[in-house]
Structure 1
Amino acid sequence: MKISDRFYFIGIGGIGMSSLAKYLFDNGSYVSGYDRTKGSITDKLKDKGIQVIFKDSIEAIPEKFKLKGTKVIYTPAIPNDNIQLNYFMNNGFEVRKRSYLLGEITKGSKVFAVAGTHGKTTTSTILSHMCNSIKLNFTAFLGGIANGFNSNLISNGNEFSIVEADEYDRSFLELNPTISCITSMDSDHLDIYKNKANLVKAFKEFSKKTQKHLLVAKGLPIKGSTFSLNQKADYYASNIVEQNSGYKFDFHTPSKIYKNIKFNLIGLHNLSNAIAASAMIDLAEIPLNDALNSLKYFKGLKRRIEIFEIVGKIIVDDYAHHPIEIDSVFNAIKERYSNKRKAVIFQPHLYSRTRDFLNEFADSLSQFDEIYLTEIYPAREDPILGINSKKIIDNISNPSKEIVFKNDIENIIKDSKANLFAILGAGDIGDEIERLKIKYKVYEN
C-alpha cells in the first residue's frame, strides 16, 4: 500500500483512525472520510483541511475518492450495512482495516507496541513523553489526546514508532513489534472472544510476533521480561511515596536502581504504566537517566484521571469502561481525596459488555457514595433484549442511585451533596464533559 495514494476513511472520527488520517495528510496524501457524528476530533481534522462527510450515502463521497486507486480504511466499529463501505467493497476498491494500515505505516521502523486490556493509552503516552524528552526520532499513534501535545499524533521522525496494539477483533496480529509490552489480560471483548481462554490465546499469538523483547506484567501466563508495581520483577518500583500530584519512587532494572524518581500523575495503576514505559526504554538500550527525569513533567492526557473543578466541585474525568478500570479510578480517588463525598456518573459502553459484567459493574459502582447512570452507549452494537442501565442499578447495593440523562450532568453536579464527581465512560459522555469544560473556562484556569 503506497503512502502517496488517496485514502478514504470510514469512521474517520475515531481516535485511532484520526491519527492515521492526519499522518497520511501531513505526508502528502489526499485524505477524506466519513463519520456518523461531529465532534472535537472531526473539527480538528477539518481545521487541517481534511474533508469529513457526515452522510452515509454514495452521493456524499467526494468524486475524487470514487476514482480507482483510492485506498479505503475502515474501523471494525463500522456496521456491516454501512452504505459507503459496501459501495467500496462491491466496486473493486482496496478496502482494509485500520490495523492493516497501522502495520504498513510502521513496518520500516523499530516498533514499540503496547498491548493489554487496560493501560494501553496511558502507557503509550508516557512512553511518547519520555521519548520526546530525550529527542528520540519517533512517531506515535495514540488512543487518546496527550495534554502535552494536544494531539493523538506525535511526529518527530520515523526511526521508532509507538503504537497501541489493540486486542479488539484481533487487530494486534497485524503488527510486527520490535519491543512489545502486555499490561494486562482481563476478560473483555467477549462478543469477539467468547471466553477468556480465547483472549489469552490471541495475546500469546501476539507475543510470538515480537521480534526482539517482550515485556509482560508479572503473573501473566506469557514468558518475557517482567514488570510489577511493587513486587520483585525484572522491573519494579520500591519506596513509593505519595506526593501532591503523583509519586516519588525508586526504579529497579535488572542492572541498576534509579533513586527518587518523581511521576506527575495520581493512581497506582498509572504508576504501573510508568514502570512499563520505563522498562521499554531500557529494553531498547536507550539511556534512562533523562527519560526517567522527564516523568515529573508528564502532563497526562484527556479523560485519563483528568482533574479539574466545576462550580466548586472536584471533577475526575476518565475513560474507564470496564469494572477493573472503575476500581482503579476509585482507588486513586480514595487515596488522594479520602475525606470527600464521592459520586460517580457512569455511561456504560456496549450492551454486550454490560451483559457480560453486570454484577462486576454493580460491585465496582457501589463503592461510591452516590451513583448516577446514563443509558448504555451502543457504539457498534444493536440493543440486546433486557440489557439496559436499570439492570446494573437493580444490582447496586447502595440506595443512593439513579438513572439520568447525559444532559443532566451539569445540574446533578450543582445539586448533589457530593464534593467530588468521577465521570466515567468510553462513549459520548466525553463530549458533554468537553462542553462543560468550555462553559466553565477550565482551559483558562
Structure 2
Amino acid sequence: MYYFIGVKGSGMASLARILYELGYEVTGSDIDKYIFIEEDLRNKGIPIYSFNKENIKDGYKVIIGNAFNDDHEEVKAALENPNVECYRYFDFLGEMMDRYDSIAIAGTHGKTTTTGMAYHLFKDYDKTTVLIGDGTGFAEKDSKYFIAESCEYQDHFLHYRPKYAVINNIEYDHVDYFKTFEDYKQAFENFANQVKDTVIIWGDDPYLPKLHIQTRTLSFGLNKNNDVQAINYLPTEEGMSFDVMIHGELFGHFNLPYFGKHMLQNALANITLGYLEGMEAEYINERLASFDGVKRRYSVKKIGHNIYVDDYAHHPTAIRMVIEATRVRYPYKKIVAIFKPDRFSRILRFAKEFAEAMDLSDYPYLCHFPENAAKEPGIDIDIHEIGQYIPRAKIIREDISSAKQLAEYEDVVYLFMSSKDIYKFEDLVIEAKKAEI
C-alpha cells in the first residue's frame, strides 16, 4: 500500500495516479477543503482521508508531500514506525525516473504546458509514462519513456538525473527560498550538469547560454546562433506557421494551432526532443497540431459572446504572456484581467512588475490573498502592495457582489489568473452572467 501525505498536491496526485495505473494499491490524506485535483483521484476510486496519525499502518510505503515537515502528525507517526517505509516526494520520483529514458521539463515558465505537449508527442511513438504539475499522471506498464515536470523550488529538481532535460527559461522566482538571483541561476546550472545525455535550452534567454553547463547542450530559438532555429515565423488566424532549421539544414515546416511566442518556444523544445529521438518532422507536426492543452493553462470556455479563460499565471512575466497571447487570439475583444496572488514574498519582490503586466489589460482587477496563504516572517502586506502601482485597477473580493460587477461586461475575454483556486470565482461570474439573461 502506497500512502500519500498531501495527496491533493499537484505532483503528489500525479504520482498517486501513476502508481495506481501501474497496479499498486494507493490511498492518502489531505485537508478537507475541495481542490479540483482530487476529482481524478476519486474517479479512480483512490480513497482520500482527513489527516489523522491513526491512518498510518504497518507495512505502508509512505510518500511525504513537500509541504509537510517532520512535526506533522502523520509524518511523525510514519517516521517513528519501524514497519513503515518513508520517502520524500522528490526522492521517490528521482529513483523512479532512473528506471526509464527520462525527460525532465524545467524552467521558470511553461513547464506544465511543455510537459503535457511532450507527453502528447511521445505517447504514441513508444510507451510513455508522464507526471504533469497540474495533477495529471498517466502510466503504461513497461514504458520506455518517463516525462516529468521538474520544479526548481527548494532545489527539488536536484534529486533528478534524467536522460534529457528541457530548460525553457530562467527568470528570478521563489524569492522565499532563493535569496539572490545568483542562487537561482546556480540551481539551474547544477541541475543541467546532472543530466545524463543532453540539455535542451532556450538559446535566446539572456541567462541560460551563460551558464557553465558541461553536459552536451542543444539550443533552440529564433536567433541564428541556435542549434534548432525557427525561421519564417508567421502568426495566423489559426495559430502559427514556421520552418525549423537544425544545424543549418531545413528539418521541416510546421503549422500549429498555438498563439503567442511562448507557445512557439514550447513547441521548439518538443521539436528538439523529437529530433533527438529520431522522429520525422511530419510526425512531430501531426502530433503537436492535435495537442489541446493541459489543466488550468489557458483553459477556454466560450459562453455567448464572452470568453472565459482560467490560467495558472502567477508571475508577472506569465501574466504578460497570457495577456499578449489573448490580444493575438482575440484581437477584437476587450480584456478583463482578474489576478489572485499566492506568496507574499513574490508579491513584495515583484509588486511593480505585477502592476505593469496587469496594466496591459483593458480592465484590471485584483483579488485579495487567500485566507490560508502561508505567512512569511517579516512580511506584512496585502493586495494594495500591487494596487499602489496601478490606481485604475479595482480591488475586489471573490463574492457574489463582485461577480455581478464583473458580469456587467459584454463581448469580452475574462482572464482569471492565479496558482490558487480562482476557477471557483470564474464559475461564480459565469453564474452571475447567466442570471442576467
TM-score, length of structure 1 as denominator length: 0.88
Would the aligned equivalents of 1:56 and 1:84 in 2 still touch at CA under 8 Å? yes
Match of 2:41 among 36, 41, 45: 45
Q: TM-score, normalised by structure 2?
A: 0.89
Deviations 1:387-436, CA, capped at 9 Å, x for gaps: 11122112214x24223225556424311367121110110113444677
* Aligned position for 2:125: 135
Q: Is the 8 A contact 2:168 2:202 kept in 1?
A: yes
Q: Please, which runs of 5 or more residues in structure 1 have no aligned partner?
A: 1-5, 146-150
Distance 1:21 1:254 in 2: 41
Partners of 1:390 and 1:403 within 8 A in 2: no
Q: Against the structure 1 CA distance between its residues 230 and 255, is the aligned structure 2 distance closer, same or farther, given a 3 Å change threshold?
A: closer
2-structure distance, mates of 1:309, 1:101: 40
C-alpha distance after superposition, 1:347-390 (max 9, x if no partner): 11111211121111111112212121111247672266431112
* Residues 1:239 and 2:232 are matched in the alignment: yes
Q: Does 1:58 align with 2:49?
A: no
Q: Deviations over 1:162-183 (max 9, x none)?
A: 1111101111111111011111
Counterpart CA distance in 2 for 1:131 and 1:438 is 39
Larger displacement relative to structure 2 (305-314 or 115-124): 305-314
Q: Is it true that 1:402 corresponds to 2:387 in the alignment?
A: no
Match of 2:106 among 101, 111, 115: 115
Unaligned runs of 5+ in 2: none
CA distance in 2 between counterparts of 1:12 and 1:141 reads: 14
Alpha-carbon RMSD: 2.5
Q: Which amino acid aligns with 1:29?
A: Y
Aligned to 2:85: 94
- Residue 108 of structure 1 aligns to a residue in which SS? coil
Q: Where does residue 169 of structure 1 map in the other structure?
A: 154
What residue is the counterpart of 2:348 in the other structure? 355
* 1:308 and 2:301 are equivalent in the alignment: yes
What SS is found at the alignment partner of 1:40? Answer: coil
**Structure 1 residue aligned with 2:175, among 190, 196, 211?**
190
C-alpha deviation, 1:333, in angstroms: 1.4
Work out the CA distance in 2 between the residues paired with 1:394 and 1:244. 37
Q: Which residue identity lines up with residue 298 of structure 1 in the other structure? A: F
What CA distance in whole angstroms lies between the structure 1 residues aligned with 2:28 and 2:373? 18
Q: Deviations over 1:6-33 (max 9, x none)?
A: 2111111122111111111222322111
Task: Give the stretch that moved more between structures: 356-365 or 381-390.
Answer: 381-390
**Aligned partners of 2:403 and 2:432 also within 8 Å:** no
Distance 1:27 1:408, change over 3 A: farther
Q: Which string of whole-angstrom CA distances, capped at 9 and with x for unpartnered residues, describes residues 89-124 of structure 1? A: 333443322111111222111011111111111111
Q: Which residue of 1 aligns with 2:289?
A: 296
Query: Which stretch shifts more, 306-315 or 12-21?
Result: 306-315
Alignment of 1:313-332 (within 5 A): 313-332=306-325
Q: Distance in 2 between matches of 1:228 and 1:79?
A: 41
Partner of 2:30: 35
- 1:74 is matched with which residue? 64
Paired residues in the alignment total 423
| Cα distance in 2 between the residues matched to 1:276 and 1:424 | 25
Aligned-residue sequence identity (percent) comes to: 28
Q: CA separation of 1:31/1:440 partners in 2, compared to 1, >3 Å: closer, same or farther?
A: farther
Matches within 5 A, 1:207-226: 207-218=192-203, 219=205, 220=208, 221-222=210-211, 223=213, 224-226=217-219
Kindly indicate whether the alpha-carbon contact (under 8 Å) linking 2:37 and 2:134 is maintained by their aligned counterparts in 1: no
Closer, same or farther: CA 319–412 of 1 in aligned 2, 3 Å: farther
The CA distance in 2 between the partners of 1:282 and 1:46, in whole Å, is 38
Between 299-308 and 72-81, the greater mean CA deviation after superposition: 72-81
Change (3 A) 1:408 1:273: farther
Query: Are the structure 2 counterparts of residues 73 and 378 from structure 1 closer, same or farther at C-alpha, using a change threshold of 3 Å?
Result: farther
Return the match for 1:337 from 327, 330, 333: 330
Decide whether aligned partners of structure 1 residues 340 and 104 sit closer, same or farther in structure 2, where only a CA change above 3 A counts: same
Which residue of 2 is the match for residue 148 of structure 1? Answer: none
Residue number among 357, 366, 372 corresponding to 1:364 in the alignment: 357
Amino acid at match of 1:209: Q
What residue is the counterpart of 1:391 in the other structure?
Answer: 385
In structure 1, C-alpha distance between the alignment counterparts of 2:293 and 2:420, rounded to whole Å: 20
**Structure 2 counterpart of 1:3:** none
Please list, as runs of the form range in 1=range in 2, the aligned pairs for 1:420-431 lying within 5 A after superposition. Answer: 420-431=413-424
1:153, CA displacement in angstroms?
Answer: 2.4
| One-letter amino acid of the counterpart of residue 381, structure 1 | A
Which piece of structure 1 moves more, 185-194 or 254-263? 254-263
The 8 Å contact of residues 21 and 140 in structure 2, kept in 1 or not, is answered as no
Cα deviation for residue 83 of structure 1 reads: 2.1
Amino acid in the other structure paired with 1:180? A
Do the aligned partners of residues 408 and 177 (structure 1) sit closer, same or farther apart at CA in structure 2, a change above 3 Å counting? Answer: farther
Paired letter, 2:78: F
Q: What is the letter of the counterpart of residue 371 of structure 1?
A: P
* Aligned-residue offset at 1:259: 4.0
Cα separation, partners in 2 of 1:425 and 1:212, compared to 1, 3 Å: same
How many angstroms does 1:213 deviate by? 0.8
Q: Distance in 2 between matches of 1:259 and 1:370?
A: 41
Matching residue's letter, 1:28: G
Partner Cα separation in structure 2 for residue 296 and residue 111 of structure 1: 24
Question: Does the 8 Å CA contact 2:340/2:367 hold for their aligned counterparts?
Answer: yes
Aligned partner letter, 2:380: G
Cα distance in 2 for partners of 1:363, 1:228 equals 26
1:144 positional shift: 2.5
